[in-house]
Chain A
Amino acid sequence: GAGVSQSPRYKVTKRGQDVALRCDPISGHVSLYWYRQALGQGPEFLTYFNYEAQQDKSGLPNDRFSAERPEGSISTLTIQRTEQRDSAMYRCASSLPDLETQYFGPGTRLLVL
C-alpha cells in the first residue's frame, strides 16, 4: 500500500469490553511502533517490533494492553477490559531497517463510554 493504514478509524466501546486495533505497515518496513496520543498531548510510545519480535514494551501502561505482530507485517494492539481513561488516539508507525524516519498512519480514535 501507499502508506500505513489503521483500522478501525473510530471505535466506540463500553467500559469493560475488549478492543483490538489493527495496523498495516508500509510494505517492506521491518519496524513497527505503537503510540498513544491523549487530547492536547503529543504521541507517547507504547511498544515496538522488529519483524515479529517485540523489542520494547516499556510504554504499555499496564497488563491490560498487549500487542502482537505474528507474521512480521500486520500488528494488533489489544486492550482488555477497557476503561474510560483508555480513550485516546492510537497511532501506528513503521520504518525501514537502519533508517530513522517513522511513517505514521491516520490513527484509531478510541472512545470508552
Chain B
Amino acid sequence: AQSVTQLGSHVSVSEGALVLLRCNYSSSVPPYLFWYVQYPNQGLQLLLKYTSAATLVKGINGFEAEFKKSETSFHLTKPSAHMSDAAEYFCAVSESTGNQFYFGTGTSLTVIP
C-alpha cells in the first residue's frame, strides 16, 4: 500500500527565507512523486514531479525537490520565499501511470512580510 505523510500542517516563513516542506512516502515499488499547489479558490496546479529520472527535480516558481530513496523522502524547497507563495501544498505518490494518486494531508504555507 502507498501513503504520504506531510509533516507540519502549517508552516510560516519570512519573506526571503528558505521554504522547506516535508514529504515522506511509502511505496512497494519505485514511485512517481508529485508536488501540487492550491491557491485560494483555485484547482490543484502541478509544481513538479519525479519519474525516475534525475533525483533533483526543478519545478515552476523556483521550487525544487529531491528524491531520496534511502530516506523515502521528497521534500520541497525554495531558497527565498515570496508573498505569492502563500498557498496549500500537497505531496502525492503514484505507483505507475494510469494509477490513482495518494495525497498527503497538505501543508499550508504562510509568508510573513
The contact of A45 among B42, B45, B100, by CB within 8 Å, is: B100
Interface magnitude class on chain A: 20 to 34
Q: Tell me the complex Cα distance, A15–B44, Å.
A: 28
Interface size class of B (residues with CB under 8 A): 20 to 34
Q: A42, B43: Cβ atoms under 8 Å?
A: no
B103 CB–A CB distance under 8 Å: yes
- With A42-B106, A104-B43 as given contacts, are A48 and B49 in contact (CB-CB < 8 Å)? no
- Name which residue of chain A comes closest to B91, CB basis: A42
CB-nearest residue of chain A relative to B102? A45
B43 and A102 contacting across the interface, CB-CB below 8 Å = no
CB distance from A71 to the nearest CB of B (A): 20
Q: Return 7 A-B CB contacts under 8 Å, by A number.
A: A42-B103, A43-B101, A98-B98, A100-B96, A101-B34, A104-B44, A106-B43
